[in-house]
Structures are given as structure tokens and as C-alpha cells.
Amino acid sequence: MRNVTVLLAACGALCSVHAAPLEQLSWLSGCWVDPAGEAGSGEQWTTPAAGSMLGMGRTIRGGKLATYEFMRIADGGDGQAVFHAQPAGKPSASFRAIVQSATEVVFENLEHDFPQRVIYRYEAPATLRASIEGQRNGALKRIEFPLVRGACAGAP
């Protein structure tokens, strides 16, 4: 009986990660702003619910919208999270989580032109290091997006 209890406790800890891959990403929820950018530049993510998290990002330069992106992280049904992105009206792309922990997630799609990886690293209490990377013209290219937790615009 003792072995069954230990097995169930271990499975409970492990199975919860596989049953709800998005719950482990709850640190991504909220508003993240670019501390060096113009007001309004950054990302915003909803809390995990119904097997998905919704996000949007925008970059403002000179008071004008430079670029934007609609994003969704969904439960892939196999215990892995999947990142779906549609940047600035371009065709959408999907990336599967290859690394996922309590403070980091790495999504990858080696078939995509650029980027092939989307990375989020959380540094408590209020820093998010987002980046994209991959091969471009035969060389590894990486673009960093340092963000800090901020107030959500329009919130009372």
C-alpha cells in the first residue's frame, strides 16, 4: 500500500504538468512593457483558461504603430504547449514547446523561415526576457526583447 501511495503522489506531481501544460506558464500572464521603448510597446497575456492563453504585442516608434502580433498558446493535447503567432497580418506559424519549466519556455519550429525559436525566460519578481532566434542567410540571428512587468493600459 505504501508503494501505491508514493507512486500516486509522484504521478500527481508529474501528471499535473502533462495534464495542464499552460498552468506552468501562468508567470507569463499580465502586461509586460519595454522599459527602453515608447509607452504602449510590449506584450499582454491572459491567464490560462480553457486550454489557452491569448496574447498580443506591439511596438510603437515615433508615436506610430511600427508592428504588432496576435499570439495564442494552447494545450497541444499531448502535454506540450504550442505557440501560435500571427505577426502584422502575415501568415500564422506554430511552434511546439521543447523546453518548459517554472521560469522558461522555448518553442521551436525548424521548418519556419525565421524565427525557428521563440523563447520566454522569467526572472522574478518582474523581468521577462523574450527573444526570437534562428538561421537567417546561413547565420544564427537572435533578437532580444527585454520586458518588465507593468500596468495594463485601460485598467482602472
Each of the 156 residues of the chain gets a pLDDT tens digit; together they read 444 333 333 333 333 334 478 999 999 999 999 999 898 899 999 999 999 999 999 999 999 999 999 999 999 988 899 999 999 989 999 999 999 999 999 999 999 999 999 999 999 999 999 999 999 999 999 999 999 999 887 655
**Beta carbons of 140 and 134 less than 8 angstroms apart:** yes
Question: Which phi and psi (to 5°) does residue 76 adopt?
Answer: -75, 0
**Beta carbons of 96 and 107 less than 8 angstroms apart:** yes
In 3D space, the residue among 149, 148, 138 whose CA is nearest the CA of residue 114 turns out to be 138
Extract the C-alpha cell encoding 67.
508592428
Question: Which phi and psi (to 5°) does residue 18 adopt?
Answer: -75, -30
Extract the C-alpha cell encoding 3.
508503494
pLDDT in the model for residue 156: 56
pLDDT in the model for residue 79: 86
Size (the chain), residues: 156
Extract the C-alpha cell encoding 75.
494545450
pLDDT in the model for residue 155: 56
Find how far residue 22's CA is from the centre of its chain: 10
**Beta carbons of 140 and 120 less than 8 angstroms apart:** no
Which residues partner with 70 through β-bridges? Answer: 56, 86
**How far, CA to CA in Å, does 8 sit from each of 17, 19, 115?**
14, 15, 40
* Amino acid at the residue 14: L
pLDDT in the model for residue 16: 36
Extract the C-alpha cell encoding 17.
504538468
